[in-house]
Structure formats: C-alpha cells, structure tokens
Structure 1
Amino acid sequence: MKKSSPTIRDVAAAAEVSVATVSKYMNNTQRFSAPVEAKLKAAIEQLGYRSNPLARSMITGKTRTIGLAILDIRNPHFTNIVKGANRIAMQNDYTLLLVDTEESQERERQLIEALAQRVDGMIVSSRMPEEAIQWMIDLNKPVVLFGRTRELPIPSVGTDSHLAAYMLARHLLNEGHRHVAYLGFGQSRWNAERIRGVTECFQEAGLTIDVHDAHAPSAQAGEHACSAIMLAPKRPQAVICYNDLIALGFMKEARALGFKLPDDVSVVGFDNVPYGEYASPALTTMDLQSERMGEVAMQKLLDVLAGHDGNGEYSLLEPRLIVRESTRRREVGAEPVSLPTSKPRRKA
C-alpha cells in the first residue's frame, strides 16, 4: 500500500505545537521564538512535508505567482527578459506565469486581464500607447512596465533608446558612412526615440537619413523591406535596423540580391540577440541588457509586493555598443559601389 503524504497535523504533532502555529510558520504570517522555529523546521524536514500551494493561497490570498506578458516568445530579446525575471523570481520563492501576446494588440488586453486573476502582480511589455493603458491600473494588481510612463503612476524599466540610436549612428559616422538609412518599426513605443537619436547625430554632422518602416519586428519583415532599400536609386552605405531580427533578415536578402556585406553595405541592429554573433558576418548591435531588464523589473515588482512605494519610478539601463564584422570602415566621401551586374535569383 502506498504511504500517505504527511499532513500539517503530523507536523504539529511532531513539533508539539498547534496546527495554527504550523500554518502561520509555513505561510510566513508570524514569527516564533528560535527554539519553536527550530522544532518546526526539523519536523518539516524529517517528515518531508510540503504545503499545498492552492490551500496556502486560499488562506493568505497570495499565489506566490508573478505574471509576465511579453510580445513574442520567438524574439530572443524577450526570452532573455524571461530568463532574467525568472532568476529573481526563483530566488524569492515565486513562480513565473508567462503569457505571449504574439504582437496582437487586439488580444493583448484580454490576455492580460485573464492573467491578472491568477497572479499576485504582473510585468508587462506592451505596444499600447501610454494613454491607452489606464485599465491596467484599474485591475488592482501591482504592475511593472517595460518602457517609461510619463503620466501614469506605474513603475517601469527600460534602456535609453535615444542614446542607443545615437551611439550606433556615431559609430557609423566614425566609420566614414554618410548615406545611411533607418529601417524602423512604427508600432513600437521606442521607434520614435531611435529615429530621434539617429537623426540628431547625423544632423550634427550636417547630414540627413532616409527613414523606412518594416511591417513587423521580425526577420521576415527585414527580408521583405530589403529590396526596396537596396535597389533604390539612392542606395545607402549603411542600414540601421530597429532590432536584430530585422537586421538578420535584411542581411540574408541583401546577400540573395548579390550584395557583399559589409563591403557593399554595413548593417546594424538593436538587442544583441544571442545568435547575432554567429551570423555571417557577425552583427554589430546595441546591447540593451535584456536579461538585466528582466531582473530589474522583477525586483521592482517584488519590492511593491513587499509594501514599498514604487509608483512612477523608472530605472534606466545603459546601452552598450557591440562592434562586429557587419560594419566596415569606408573612405569619407566615397560613393556607394555599383550594383552587382549579375544577381543570383531565389527560387519562387
């Protein structure tokens, strides 16, 4: 016959205390003297007792679960955020409940509202403009957002997109690039800041940039946008992409069109996704500290759950330039090289 699991009554009997004392000790709702806590700890370990999370949540009103809503689990930027957030959650005896909104603004609110009913607090990445997310406050659950909120009393964490874009643009200028395009993603809350950073840097040098927009923050969107940019009469010497996925797709299509990288065009991105280092050529990028972003967001939420007032507090992480082989130095004033005379055709 299978041995039954130890119960809270068994622990109480072994420690010679009441069931209520065991419950309060297990749920961290009351402290006891050192000898009593030592007896409780010894009894729990000896019996191998494990509390029932559902029963505990019914008593305390807490689930010990944190909700994390991200935009696309396939994007390594977000998987790195999950990794960082989960590390801090585990260290503090919390479980992470993940929701992937799949870049769908239509379903985003519905999914986050459902998530709020099952967790103690939430960390949210959203494409919604700030004026459209008041409803998150009305859920009456602590929330931490990625990206700064200027009007709402919600703690947030992010990386300085304006500075990151400026640094990338400065790198290209220092490498002698004068004809530069920016391939962005207009639905992102950070896209305007990146355009502003790139534009400001080039304006200081008396130059302008060409701005284009990808239909999604994906490698496929980078592929799709490449030909219109690279086969245009005013072909750029370098392309700054909204993120690394767009940059990797752009590079793939540029090679398919017959261009050599970085000889014909330099390409850069944002996020420092893990496999950007293994692309050919390896991708120059801005490290936005995605994993650290997840760690900071989780710690902010745990602080709020512990009773600390984090309303409106914004933590800004410093971006770091990672220079690899997808950029090369070009003679200042040099015109773009001519279009290849023969281009390999991709199969339909």
Structure 2
Amino acid sequence: MKKTAPTIRDVAAAAHVSTATVSKFINGAQRFSPKVEAAIESAIAGLGYKSNPLAKSMITGRTNTIGLSVLDITNPHFSSILKGANRVAHDQGFSVLLVDTEETPSRERRTLEELSRRVDGMIVFSRMREHEMTWMTEIDKPLVFFGSLAQLPLPTVASDDHGGAYMLAQHLRMLGHRRIAYLGFSKSRRDEERLGGIRESLNAAGLELAIFDAEAPSLAEGERLCSAIVLGSQRPDALICYNDLMALGFMKEASNLGISIPQDISVVGFDNIPYGKYTTPALTTVDLQSERMGATAMEKLLAVIRGQHVEKLTKVAPQLILRASTVARRP
C-alpha cells in the first residue's frame, strides 16, 4: 500500500508545536526561538515533509514565479534573454513562466493581463507603441520593460541600439563602402533607434541611405526581399539588416542568385545569435549582450519586488563583432 505523504500536522506533532507555528516557520512569516526552529527542522527532515507551493502561495500571496513575455521564442536573441533571466531567477529561488506573443501586438494585452494573475512580477517585450501601452501602468504587479520609454513610468532595460547601429555604419564607411542600404523593420520602436545611428554616421560623410522595409524580423523576410535589393538598378555595396535572422535569410538567397558575399555586397546584422559565426561567410554583427540583458532585467525586477529603489533606465553597451561577411570595397 502506498505510504501517505507527511502533512503539516505530522510535523507539528513530531516537533511538539502547533500547526500554526509550523506554517509560520515554513512560510517565513515569523521567527521562533532556536530550540523551536531546530525541533521543526528536525521533524521536517525526519518525516521527509515537502511543503505545497500552491498552498504556500495562497497563504503568502506570493508564487515565487516571474513572468517573461517575449516576441518570438524561435529567435535565438530571445532564447538567450530567457537563459540569462532564468539563471538569476533560479539563484534567487524563483521560477520563470514564459509566454510568446508571436510578434502579434493585438494579443499582447490579454496575454499579459492573464499572466499577471499568476506571477509575482513581469518582464515584458512589446511591439506596441508607447501611447498604446498606458494600461500596463495599471497592472497591479511589479514590471520591468525591455526598451527605452519616453513617458511611461516603468523601469526599463535597453540595449544601445543607436550606438550599435552607428558602429556598424562607421565600420562599413571605414571599409570604403559608399552605397549603403538598410533592411529594416519599421513596426519596431528599436528600428527608429537603429536608423538614427546609421544616419548619424552616414550624414557626417554626406552619404544617402536606401531603405527596405520587412513585414517581420525573420529569415523568410530577408530571403524574400533579397532580389529587390541585389537585382535593382542601384544595388548597394553594403547592407545593414535589422537583425541577424534577416541577414542570414538574405545571404542564403543572395547565394542562390549568384551574388557573392562579401565580394559583391557586404552584409551585417544585429544580435550576434549563435548561428551567425557558423555560416559561410561568418556574419559581422553587433552583440547586444542578450543574455546579460535578461539577467539585468531579472535582477532589476527582483529588486523592485523587494521594495528597493532602482534606476528607471539601465542601458547595456553593445559590442561590434567583426567576421568575414564584410570586406573593403574594391576601387
């Protein structure tokens, strides 16, 4: 016959205290004398008692769970963010509940409102424009946002997209490229920051920027738009892509079209996803420190949950990663 799991009453009887005392000790609601606490700990160990997390959450109002909302979990950039966030959460005794909004702004509000009822706090990515996000300030849970916010009073963690884009454009200029294009994703606020960094660099040299806009920040879109970019009448000699996925999709289709990278066109991206260094040629990119961003956001959120003061904006510095997909332009 299966042995019944020990209960809180069994622990109380073995320790010669009340069930209320055991409950308060387990949930950290009250401290007792060293003798009483030692007796409870001995009884728990001897009986092999394990507390019920659901019951504990009903008593304390805490779940020890953090919600993380990402835009597309198939994108390795977000997988790395999850890895960093999960590591910090685990070290602090929290678990992470992940939701994927699949690049669909229309489902974000319902998803986040439902998530907020199951967690102690949330880390959020969003495709919504800032003026569409005021409802987030009404969610009665601590929240940390990924990206810069101009007006909403939410703590944020952001990559320096403007600075990273400026570095990419400067690198291409130093290689002698003059006809530079940008394959962007205008539905993202980060697109504006990246465009700003590119233009700051090019304007200083009096260079124009050709812009192509994708429907999604995906491999498929980079592949789809490749022919329009390389077979047009004004083919660029360098292309900056909104992210590495788009760059890799572009490179695959360029090869099919007989375009040589980087001899015919240099290509760069953002995110430094793991696949980028294993392509042929390996992809020059900006490392936005995805794993570090996830860890930083989780540390910030846990500080908010503990009632500690945090800076409104924490910005993570990017790093330029030079590989073989860029080359000096032939005279």
TM-score tier after normalising by the smaller chain length: over 0.9
Q: 2:196 maps to what in 1? A: 196
1:244-280 CA distances to partner (integer Å, 9 max, x unpaired)? Answer: 0000000011111101111111110000111111111
Q: For the residues of structure 2 that align with 1:36 and 1:178, how far apart are their CA atoms?
A: 77
Letter in 1 for 2:144: V
Quick one: distance in 2 between partners of 1:33 and 1:227?
Answer: 75
Shift of 1:309: 3.6
One-letter amino acid matched to 1:153? P
Q: Which residue does the alignment assign to 2:127? A: 127
Deviation track 1:16-65 (CA, whole Å, cap 9, x = no partner) reads: 33222221221122233444333333332232211111111111111111
SS, match of residue 62 in structure 2: coil
SS of 2:99's equivalent? strand
Give the corresponding residue for 1:296: 296
Matching residue's letter, 2:316: L
Corresponding residue for residue 171 of structure 2:
171
Amino acid in structure 2 at the alignment position of 1:56 = K
Cα deviation code 1:179-202 (max 9, x no counterpart): 110110000110011011011101
Identity of paired residues, percent? 58
In the aligned structure 1, how far is the partner of 2:215 from the partner of 2:13? 65
Counterparts of 1:31-180 in structure 2, within 5 Å, are 31-180=31-180
Structure-1 separation of matches of 2:35 and 2:222: 64
> 1:345 maps to what in 2?
none
Q: Which runs of 4+ in 1 moved over 6 A?
A: none
Which residue identity does 1:193 align to in structure 2? E
Q: Which residue of structure 2 aligns with residue 339 of structure 1? A: none
Shift of 1:131: 1.4
Amino acid at match of 1:313: K
- C-alpha distance in 1, partners of 2:34/2:231? 75
Distance in 1, Cα, partners of 2:33 & 2:263: 72
- 1:190 aligns to what SS in structure 2? helix
Aligned to 1:302, the other structure's residue is in SS state helix
Match of 1:315 in 2: 314
Counterpart of 1:82, as a letter, is L
User: C-alpha distance in 2, partners of 1:25/1:148?
Assistant: 42
**In structure 1, how many angstroms separate the alpha carbons of the residues matched to 2:39 and 2:292?**
39
The answer for unaligned runs of 5 or more in structure 1 is: 335-348
Residue by residue, what CA displacement relative to the aligned partner does 1:191-230 show, whole Å, maximum 9, x if unpaired? 0110110111011122121111111100000011111111
Question: 2:212 and 2:133 mapped to 1: Cα distance?
Answer: 28
| 1:237 counterpart letter in structure 2 | D
* Whole-Å separation in 2 of the counterparts to 1:31 and 1:276: 53
Cα deviation digits, residues 261-306 of structure 1 (max 9, x gap): 1111111000011111111111111000111111111111111111
Q: Which amino acid aligns with 1:46?
A: G
TM-score normalised by length of structure 1: 0.92
Which residue does 1:271 correspond to in 2? Answer: 271
TM-score of the pair, normalised by structure 2: 0.97
Task: Give the distance between the partners of 1:163 and 1:17, measured in 2 at CA.
Answer: 62
Partner of 2:323: 324
Moved more, 45-54 or 159-168: 45-54
Q: Does the alignment pair 1:207 with 2:213?
A: no
Aligned AA for 2:22? V
CA distance in 2, matches of 1:190, 1:123: 17
Q: Which runs of 5+ in 2 are unaligned?
A: none
**In the TM superposition, what whole-angstrom CA distance separates every residue of 1:229-254 from its partner, at most 9, and x where no partner exists?**
11111111110000000000000111
Tell me what 2:28 maps to. Answer: 28
Specify the SS of the correspondent of 2:245.
helix
**Which residue matches 2:252?**
252
Q: CA deviation at 1:127?
A: 0.7
* 1:19 maps to amino acid: T
- Which residue pairs with 2:280 in the alignment? 280
Tell me which residue corresponds to 1:237: 237
Distance (whole Å) between structure 1 residues aligned to residue 40 and residue 298 of structure 2: 31
Compute the displacement of 1:86 (Å). 0.9
- Root-mean-square deviation over aligned CA pairs: 1.3
Which stretch of structure 1 is more off in the superposition, 52-61 or 36-45? 36-45
Distance across 2 between alignment mates of 1:16 and 1:296: 45
Task: Give the aligned residue type for 1:72.
Answer: D
